[in-house]
Amino acid sequence: MNQIVDISRPSLFENFPDSVSFKKLRKRLVRQTQDVIDTFGLLDRYAVKTGKANRPKWLVCLSGGKDSYGLLAVLLDLQWQGALPVDLLACNLDQGQPGFPKHILPEWLENIGVPYRIESQDTYSIVTEKVPANKTYCALCSRLRRGILYRIAREEGCDAIVLGHHRDDALETFMMNLIHGGRLAAMPPKLLNDEGDVFVLRPLMGCSEADLQKFSEAMKFPIIPCNLCGSQDGLQRQAMKKMLDNWESRKPGTRQVMAKALTTIRPSHLHDPRVFDFLGLKPGDPGQSEDGVPF
């Protein structure tokens, strides 16, 4: 049976700005996150409430960047409000980057009273040794990091690792896959790993990077810059970001429209016979709407 867990108000919230604009921002981020959790089934509320499932435990991954700080803050907010019956364990992976300020995250997490685990693994040396200086580190770094996080999740009894990717990350990934990968794919809000024992959750998929930036600045999070991938110029992701920024400046709201498109897919109007049975289509079948499709 599930135990009733008393969640006290984290000290993180004691210093929330009192302005109307911040209250609206906080409410928007919380609402958008809760919408993603419910829409994509990141949490089976019914099973937890009825005792058919144990209280979940999530490994919240902190990099020290604005997005992961915002992720933890919003999840703590939902947890404190009683809208997220989940135990949270913050986790930072110290990858051995030269000059990494090891004290910042432990001190901050202890100050706000959040349980955490710091894991030290020198993936920095592996990545810089294996990848030529003129190539991007992201792919190998991500694979190594993800494998370590899966292990930690299992060791800590966590059902999922939770990442701070947001709406703009998903759109940049979509454009990279479209232009460079030749496929239509973005970042899923919910993913089951290959072994089938750990979920990867992205509750911020409905939140914009601009809102998370404003939230971070208002909350004065102690940001730790990434000097591994951030030191390389010309990354494909940065190119996609600049392109989306240009579109957004020309037509405000473009990112939101594109994000809506990721949730409104019409397989019959694409060209993949694996997702739509073109060969089996015959007279008498339900028609395919031509709305918006020129002849």
Query: How many other C-beta atoms are found inside a 10 Å radius of the C-beta of residue 140?
Result: 16
What is the pLDDT at residue 228? 52
d(CA 208, CA 170): 10
d(CA 40, CA 152): 24
Burial of 167 (0-12, 13-18, 19+ CB in 10 A): buried
What is the pLDDT at residue 237? 84
What is the pLDDT at residue 134? 64
What is the pLDDT at residue 240? 93
What dihedral angle (degrees, nearest 10) is formed by the CA atoms of 132, 135, 136, 139? -70
Both structure tokens of 248: 């957004």
What is the pLDDT at residue 146? 86
d(CA 7, CA 81): 9
What separation in angstroms does the CA of 244 have from each of 131, 144, 164, 166, 287?
Answer: 28, 29, 20, 14, 35
What is the pLDDT at residue 120? 86
d(CA 170, CA 77): 24
Query: How many other C-beta atoms are found inside a 10 Å radius of the C-beta of residue 227?
Result: 12
What is the pLDDT at residue 49? 75
CA angle (166 as vertex; 160, 190 as ends), nearest 5: 35
The sheet carrying 116-120 orders its strands as 116-120, 87-94, 57-61, 160-162, 199-201, 190-192
Nearest to 136 by CA among 251, 229, 201, 51: 229
Question: Is the CATH code 1.20.1070.10 the one for domain 13-236?
Answer: no
- Domain range summary for the chain, segments of one domain joined by +: 13-236
What is the pLDDT at residue 137? 65
User: What is the residue-level pLDDT of the chain in tens, covering all 295 positions?
Assistant: 344 444 556 678 777 788 999 999 999 999 999 999 999 999 988 777 777 778 899 999 998 999 999 999 999 999 999 999 999 999 998 877 777 888 999 999 999 999 999 998 877 777 777 676 666 666 667 778 888 999 999 999 999 999 999 999 999 999 999 998 999 999 999 999 989 999 999 999 999 999 999 999 999 999 987 655 544 444 788 889 999 999 999 999 999 999 999 999 999 999 999 999 999 988 877 766 666 555 4
What is the pLDDT at residue 52? 73
Nearest to 50 by CA among 2, 10, 113: 2
What is the pLDDT at residue 140? 67
205 Ramachandran zone, left/alpha/beta (phi>0; psi -120 to 50): alpha
What is the pLDDT at residue 221? 95
What dihedral angle (degrees, nearest 10) is formed by the CA atoms of 140, 141, 147, 150? -140
Q: What's the pTM value of the predicted model, to 2 decimals?
A: 0.87
